[in-house]
Amino acid sequence: MCKVDLVDNFLCSLRMFGVNKYLIFATDSVALAMLRERGYHAWDGETTVGKGLDKSDSNFRTNSWKQLTRAKMKVAKQVLQSGHHMFFSDVDVVALENFLPSLVSESQKSPQWLLDWDGKRTGKKEANTGFYFMRAEKGSIDLLTKATLQQKKMPAKDDQQLINAVMTSGQRNYMPRPKFANGCYLRNVGKSTDLVKKGVAAVHVNCAVSKLMKHKLMCNMGLWFCANVPEGGNPRPTFGGRCKPGYGMERFRGYNSSASLTAVGKVGEGLVERS
């Protein structure tokens, strides 16, 4: 669990807009202890992953990393089978408003998923499993089951590759751009672009692989909400200006700050409002 500061930043941005119900999937006992020490709602997911992991196992595209991503499908299936709709997010996401009501509304257009996506707007799109919303319906569960079975045929693939392999065109309901932006969008906007004025509700910073590069990009675009400056937060001039503590918070202070959380499905056991 080497990205706990990204967790801090994501949850900080959510709290800005009144979103306080969440559950963090902890991949190992060290991560679980760190998260609970912070007062976060964390679930022990070590048995779901299948083996003890450490921070080196989060290295992109390694076999352990792929095992970790495949465990996400097991977690998602467990949540849906319990009768809860589910919004899933990687930790390199920043909220610029309470986007849950919009996700609930958009998800009604498809019985399966509402997905982030990679690719060109007018070209072929590929589902991105780092940011999605699923409704607790049979079609969603069946799709996850099919993707899990596909693993026997494609043992070296990650969850995103497995899901893209089994999804039909009719099951692909993509999040609208620029409301839900990711790296594909960020690469085509200027450094000083005001994302709020562009109508962006959330940003998935997946255009950078390393945590250091994610930090620099977030700082450069005013997406760091925590009071503490992250590692690499004072980048070289090529990455723009200094990352000031609380810059994101100051930038968006008062913008939709009174938004209240809209309940999604059932409220999970043990999840309570936090100020």
C-alpha 148/C-alpha 159 separation (Å) is 8
Tens-digit pLDDT profile for residues 259-273: 322 223 332 223 233
Share of the chain above pLDDT 90, in %: 13
Q: Helix or strand or coil: residue 26?
A: strand
pLDDT attached to residue 141: 92
176: tokens are 């609208």
- Residue ranges of E strands in 153-201: 180-182
Burial letters 238-257, b for 16+ CB under 10 A, else e: ebbeebeebbbbebbeeeee
Average confidence score pLDDT of the chain: 75
94: tokens are 């920043």
Mean pLDDT for 166-191 is 80
Cis before 237 (ω within 30): no
pLDDT attached to residue 274: 30
Which of 87-91, 234-238, 250-254 is most confident? 87-91
Going by the DSSP 8-state scheme, the letter that residue 176 receives in this structure is P
Tens-digit pLDDT profile for residues 76-131: 898 899 999 989 998 899 998 899 998 888 888 765 688 888 876 666 788 888 89
- Residue ranges of E strands in the chain: 24-26, 42-44, 86-89, 93-95, 113-119, 125-134, 180-182, 202-204
Mean pLDDT for 38-65 is 70
Tens-digit pLDDT profile for residues 190-228: 554 578 778 889 999 888 778 888 888 888 777 888 776
Could you give the C-alpha distances from 106 to 38, 139, 199, 264, in angstroms and in order? Answer: 33, 16, 16, 13
C-alpha 152/C-alpha 11 separation (Å) is 36
Mean pLDDT for 29-40 is 86
